[in-house]
Chain A
Amino acid sequence: MVDPDPITTKTDEELAREARAGSRRSFEELALRYKRRLFVYLRPRLGSDQDAEDMVQETFLKLFRNIRSYDSAFQFSTWLYTSANRLAISSYRKKKIASGNLDVEAAGALVDPEVGAAGSAGIWDAARNLGGSHYRVLWLRYGEDMTIEAIATSLGKSRLAVRLLLHRARKGLMKRVCPVPAMATATKTAAVKETPLG
């Protein structure tokens, strides 16, 4: 029986500390763990697989350069997504300057055309169709299990703004995911019952 590679059993923060101390292998393990997760996070924002892959590469390159500045008081995922967000915004601005006709909100709300509006198989696809910041907060909250504070740090928003985004995202997701007849019935019943309360 072969023992599992000890590096795979380490936490992200342990690996990040080792990488900061100079361990290339630890950093590679971190990149391996996060490359797909970062890809699905960035993909709706950037509009194409190729752009998303490039952005993942750029993000890891930036982290590798700045690994010595990693503060182990924070979760590695917070640091990673903060850097990815900044790079994505920077990339978007460059594109905007180059093309001159992109809109910030539109860029934040880019929807994967392959998933489309024809209906989603899973809840993550439905979340991705919400687009923009709604998908991002859902991913960070439920995909990465990050706290409200960590999400606020990563996105550069206040905690209240993050909670508001999450609330709206849940409502939007419910509209997409819950069966329409059940929702309508429930809403109608509620409306009738609520009339006296206003």
Chain B
Amino acid sequence: MLCKLTRWLISREVDRGIKTPRFALRHGERCGACRAYARFAASLPSRFAGERPAFLASVPDFPLNEARWAEDGGVREKRGILPRRLVLHPFPAAAAAILVVAGVLVLFQVVLREAGPSTEDEAAALAALKTVTAAPDEFQGMVGKVESPLAKERQILEQSVASAVEYLQARLNIKIERKDTPKSL
């Protein structure tokens, strides 16, 4: 069990550069197999690198079919295929535009402004305003009109008082005279 753990820790040091713990090193000093594994793991890079050229040289050479690349490239150029280039396709672009418009309509309500007054309406409004502003010129007349019911009432009252005076003079055989000119109301 300790051997397995030690070898795993040796591999960890080889792969990640994390130092092997002291207990594993102590075990390695006692265990020949783990020591051999440590030596073997450490020797692998140089051994593999040393034998790599011979290993690759043993592979039979074969030609690369570069004509296929040319065909492929030619076809792509003919078709005008431009990989990884932004191209706006009509249908997706239209769909995106519709979505944007729909989104805007959902967020903002469109309200139509009322049409402005016509020239005739403006003229009528100005004329009405003039009649209102012209009122001060006939102010007395308007006041007179407003006061006319009061004058009538006063006249009726005076007539009734005069008839009452005549009755009392005749009945009591006295004479009643008006003192002064009546004050204006």
Name A's B-contacting residues (CB within 8 A). 24, 27-28, 31-32, 35-37, 39-40, 43, 49, 53, 56-57, 60-61, 64-66, 68-69, 122-125, 127, 138, 142-143, 148, 163, 166-167, 170-171, 173-174, 177-178, 182-183, 185-187, 189-190, 193-194, 197-198
Contact = CB atoms under 8 A, between A and B. Distances in A.
Interface stretch (B40-48, B93-101, B137-145, B148-156): B40-48
Interface in B1-58: 1-3, 7-8, 11-12, 15-16, 27, 30-37, 40-41, 44-45, 47-49, 51-52, 54-56
Contacts, number: 119
A127 to B, nearest CB: 8
Contacts of B11: 163, 166-167, 170
B1 A198 contact: yes
A142 B45 contact: yes
Given A56-B64, A57-B64, 15 more contacts: A31-B66, A36-B59, A36-B61, A40-B59, A60-B64, A65-B72, A69-B84, A142-B49, A166-B11, A183-B33, A185-B32, A186-B33, A186-B35, A197-B2, A197-B27
B84 A57 contact: no
Contacts of B90: none
Contact of B32 (A36, A123, A187): A187
A40 B33 CA distance: 31
Contact of B72 (A61, A174, A197): A61
A53 to B, nearest CB: 5
A171 B31 contact: no
A163 B45 contact: no
**B interface, by DSSP: helix, strand, loop or mixed?**
helix
Contact of A190 (B3, B41, B51, B60): B3
A30 to B, nearest CB: 11
A16 to B, nearest CB: 15
Interface residues of B, number: 44
Given A57-B68, A61-B69, A66-B83, A186 B36 contact: yes
Name, among B11, B36, B59, B69, the residue most crowded by chain A CB atoms within 10 Å (CB to CB). Answer: B69
**A interface, by DSSP: helix, strand, loop or mixed?**
helix
Given A60-B64, A66-B83, A69-B84, A170 B31 contact: no
Nearest to B66: A28
Given A53-B62, A69-B83, A166-B15, A122 B55 contact: yes
B65 interface: yes
Given A186-B35, A189-B32, A31 B64 contact: yes
Given A40-B56, A125-B55, A64 B31 contact: no
